[in-house]
C-alpha cells in the first residue's frame, strides 16, 4: 500500500527581546560564561532590539555569533533610522551600513524584524521597493510588525505574500481589527505584555494555550518563533521558560 511521506515538523524557537538574566530566573541557567552564553544554552533564539536605537560594529555581531551554539538563531530589529526616520524610502546607504554590520552574524542571523510606526500607512510602491531592497541584501526570514490599520487590508496582505514577508502576530495587536491573516508559512509571535505593555506577565493559562497553538503550527511543518518582549519588570524570561517547559522535544541541536 502506498503511503504519503510524513511532513517534517517545523523548528520551534522560544526566546526574549534581550538576554539579560534576572536574579529571579538565574536558577534556570548555569553560572559559567557571559549572560548571552548562559542564555543560549537554554533558549534557542534572542531578539536584538538595541540595533533599533544604535548601530553595533560588525565585530560585535561576530562576537555574539561565536558565543552561542550552532543551532541558535538571532532575530535583529532594523534601525529606526530606516523604519521610522526615513519612512522606508531612500534608505540604500542606511541599509548597506546595517547589512555590513548584522551580516557578521553569518548563518546565525535567522530573522530580520521590521517594526513600523503606528502612523505609517501602507503604500504599495514604497513597501514593495523597500522589501525588495532588503531581500537583495539578506537571505534570511523577514518579519514585519505593522501597526497602522491599512497594513492589514487585502492589498498589504497580497504584497507581503508576494515578497515572502512574515506578518508578525503581536500581543497587544495594535492596528489589527480582525483575526490574524498569515502571509507565509512561518510564524513569528511578539508578546509585549498585557494589560500593561512591556511590564505585565502572562498567566499560566495563557502560556498553556500558547503552547498548544504553537505545537500545532510546528507539527504542520511551520517554523515558529515566539519572543517575549515584556522585559521592563523581568517577566519575559520566566514566561519564556514556562512556555518552553510545555513544548514538545526540540529539533536537533536546539536547547533541551
- Is residue 196 predicted with pLDDT exceeding 60? yes
Work out the percent of the chain whose per-residue pLDDT is above 70.
94
pLDDT tier at 45 (50, 70, 90 boundaries)? very high
Q: What is the mean pLDDT of residues 41-65?
A: 98
Give the model's pLDDT for residue 254. 54
For 233, left (φ over 0), alpha (ψ -120 to 50), or beta? alpha
Q: What is the pLDDT of residues 102-152, one digit of tens each?
A: 999 999 999 999 999 999 999 999 999 999 999 999 999 999 999 999 999
Residue 247: how many CB atoms within 10 A of its CB? 17
Q: Is 118 exposed, middle or buried (0-12, 13-18, 19+ CB in 10 A)?
A: exposed
Q: How many CA atoms lie within 13 A of 61 on its CB side?
A: 26
Q: What is the mean pLDDT of residues 238-254?
A: 78
Give the model's pLDDT for residue 207. 98
CATH of domain 12-246: 3.20.20.410
Give the model's pLDDT for residue 253. 41
Q: What is the pLDDT of residues 85-105, one digit of tens each?
A: 999 999 999 999 999 999 999
Q: What is the mean pLDDT of residues 51-55?
A: 98
**Taking a C-beta distance cutoff of 8 angstroms, is the pair 200, 208 a contact?**
no
Give the model's pLDDT for residue 22. 86
pLDDT tier at 250 (50, 70, 90 boundaries)? low
Residue 73: how many CB atoms within 10 A of its CB? 22
Q: What is the mean pLDDT of residues 6-33?
A: 90
Give the model's pLDDT for residue 4. 43
Residue 214: how many CB atoms within 10 A of its CB? 23
Q: What is the mean pLDDT of residues 159-165?
A: 98
Amino acid at each position: 500500500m502506498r503511503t504519503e511521506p510524513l511532513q517534517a515538523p517545523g523548528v520551534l524557537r522560544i526566546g526574549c527581546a534581550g538576554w539579560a538574566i534576572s536574579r529571579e530566573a538565574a536558577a534556570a541557567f548555569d553560572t559559567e560564561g557571559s549572560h548571552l552564553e548562559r542564555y543560549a544554552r537554554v533558549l534557542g533564539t534572542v531578539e536584538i532590539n538595541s540595533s533599533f536605537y544604535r548601530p553595533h560594529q560588525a565585530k560585535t555581531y561576530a562576537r555574539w555569533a561565536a558565543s552561542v551554539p550552532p543551532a541558535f538563531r538571532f532575530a535583529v530589529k532594523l534601525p529606526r533610522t530606516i523604519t521610522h526616520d526615513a519612512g522606508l524610502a531612500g534608505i540604500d546607504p542606511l541599509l548597506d551600513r546595517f547589512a555590513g554590520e548584522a551580516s557578521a552574524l553569518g548563518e546565525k542571523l535567522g530573522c530580520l524584524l521590521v517594526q513600523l510606526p503606528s502612523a505609517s500607512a501602507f503604500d504599495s510602491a514604497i513597501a514593495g521597493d523597500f522589501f525588495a531592497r532588503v531581500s537583495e541584501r539578506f537571505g534570511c526570514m523577514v518579519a514585519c510588525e505593522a501597526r497602522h490599520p491599512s497594513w492589514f487590508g487585502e492589498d498589504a496582505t497580497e504584497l507581503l505574500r508576494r515578497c515572502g514577508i512574515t506578518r508578525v502576530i503581536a500581543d497587544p495587536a495594535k492596528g489589527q481589527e480582525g483575526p490574524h491573516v498569515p502571509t507565509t508559512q512561518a510564524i513569528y509571535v511578539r508578546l509585549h505584555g498585557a494589560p500593561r505593555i512591556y511590564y505585565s506577565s502572562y498567566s499560566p493559562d495563557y502560556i498553556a494555550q500558547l503552547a498548544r497553538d504553537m505545537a500545532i503550527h510546528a507539527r504542520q511543518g511551520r517554523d515558529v518563533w515566539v519572543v517575549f518582549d515584556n522585559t521592563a519588570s523581568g517577566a519575559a524570561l520566566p514566561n519564556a521558560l514556562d512556555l518552553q517547559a510545555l513544548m514538545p522535544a526540540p529539533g536537533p541541536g536546539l536547547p533541551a
